[in-house]
Amino acid sequence: MKIGYPCMNRRIGCSSAKTFRLSSYSEHRLITTVGSNLACLLRILRFNVEHGIRFFRITSDLVPFASHPACAFAWQEHFGDSFKEIGRYIQHHGIRISMHPDQFTLVNALDERIFCQSVKELSYHAEVLDLLCLDASAKIQVHVGGVYGDKDASLMRFAGRYAKLDGLIRRRLVVENDERLYGLADCLRLHDETGIPVLFDVFHHAIFNRGETIPEAIDRASRTWKETDGLPLVDFSLQKPGARAGQHAQTIDVKAFLEFLEESRPFDLDIMLEIKDKEKSVIKAVRAAAKDPRFVRSNKE
DNA sequence: CAGTGTCAAGGTGGA
DNA sequence: TCCACCTTGACACTG
């Protein structure tokens, strides 16, 4: 089991998600920004290793406008050595990596142009992971997408499109249950149609479900992952107390997290904590799991 | 220089 | 048909 956090570290004072306005795009600006983002990414990974954290989601903003027509620069070659160096560090320390394109990436879009743009965005994500020389366990997670007035047809459109995606994308793509439109049952159906692994989001499931218990849900989602996909990935977060349903908590409730670990046994998972204070909560969670006698064994790795 | 409106991109759902 | 919301940091303009 590895416990990780997404994209940003609050402690070390740099960001690997620096960007700029499209209106101020220039090759020089791109080179400066990407160089600084990559340097920061390596710093974050080093921080993580020093704190026993071996799971991290790389931000989609690593290369701003990578899939936009404005970006004609061959950043892949220009920064090839930096990517290799970071990739070696990741492999040497056994770090699990994931990425999560944002809401504009819609495999099941009705509009063919939006689908094409989404493929470009997915290619960019796959390229980053390929340049890092990571195996197929480095995943790209997306939601099923829109309903477009016909949920069934839209789910099947995802299935049809998925089958035709470039293998470099398909080997990394996993689908995550959302909190409103496509729940765990829908994702499992998509898996039956396509073989795509299902990333289980515990928090979304708490908001939107068909009554499946956590152990049932973990069991079903885990079975959709093959050996080459690595350990099943899970997103974990908690409701911010007193806030509107769906808001992520500021910091982790360690007791609730340990309860989840207990419920998820005997499955071994890599768990992404989507909690606002990021690495701080992960450090707490890692520590708590390490000293809880119930999890000492599974946490040894 | 601090405060704040806005940013490449889409979809949903309420008014 | 229009607009707030999703979720979020950070850019870049305003006073």
Q: For residue range A172-193, what is the model confidence (pLDDT) as tens digits?
A: 999 999 999 999 999 999 999 9
Q: Is the CB of A103 under 7 A from strand C?
A: yes
Query: Using an 8 Å Cβ cutoff, are A181 and A144 in contact?
Result: yes
pLDDT digits 0-9 by tens, A134-179: 999 999 999 999 999 999 999 999 999 999 999 999 999 999 999 9
Residue A221: the pLDDT is: 97
Give all strands (DSSP E) within A50-125, no chain letters. 55-58, 96-99
Scanning residues 167 through 206 of protein chain A, those with a beta carbon under 7 Å from any atom of strand C turn out to be: 179
- State CA A66 to chain mean position distance: 18
Nucleotides on chain B within 7 angstroms of protein Cβ: 7-13
Residue A298: the pLDDT is: 47
Residue A241: the pLDDT is: 80
pLDDT digits 0-9 by tens, A51-103: 999 999 999 999 999 999 999 999 999 999 999 999 999 999 999 999 999 99
pLDDT, average across residues A212-225 = 97
Å from the A104 CA to the C13 C1': 27
pLDDT, average across residues A195-213 = 95
- Count CB neighbours of A145 within 10 A: 25
Residue nearest to nucleotide C12 (CA to C1'): A21
pLDDT at A236 over 90: yes
Task: Please tell me the distance from the alpha carbon of residue A50 to that of residue A52, in angstroms, as a whole number.
Answer: 6
Residue A246: the pLDDT is: 79
Å from the A72 CA to the C3 C1': 35
Query: Using an 8 Å Cβ cutoff, are A236 and A273 in contact?
Result: yes
Q: Is the CB of A151 under 7 A from strand C?
A: no
With cut-offs at 50, 70 and 90, classify the pLDDT of residue A240: confident
pLDDT at A18 over 50: yes
Å from the A142 CA to the C7 C1': 15
With cut-offs at 50, 70 and 90, classify the pLDDT of residue A300: very low
pLDDT, average across residues A200-229 = 96
Task: Please tell me the distance from the alpha carbon of residue A165 to that of residue A215, in angstroms, as a whole number.
Answer: 32
Task: Please tell me the distance from the alpha carbon of residue A273 to that of residue A257, in angstroms, as a whole number.
Answer: 10
The fraction of chain A above a pLDDT of 90, given in percent, is: 91
Task: Please tell me the distance from the alpha carbon of residue A232 to that of residue A267, in angstroms, as a whole number.
Answer: 9
The mean pLDDT value of chain A amounts to: 94
A61: the nucleotide nearest its CA (via C1') is C9
Helix A80-92 with A112-131: angle, nearest 10 deg: 70
* Beta-carbon contacts of residue A207 (< 8 Å; ≥ 6 apart): A179, A180, A245, A246
Q: Is the CB of A8 under 7 A from strand C?
A: yes
Residue A297: the pLDDT is: 52
Residue A287, H or E segment: helix A279-291
Å from the A149 CA to the B5 C1': 34
A178: the nucleotide nearest its CA (via C1') is C6
With cut-offs at 50, 70 and 90, classify the pLDDT of residue A239: confident
Å from the A297 CA to the B7 C1': 47
Residue A296: the pLDDT is: 61
Å from the A50 CA to the C8 C1': 27
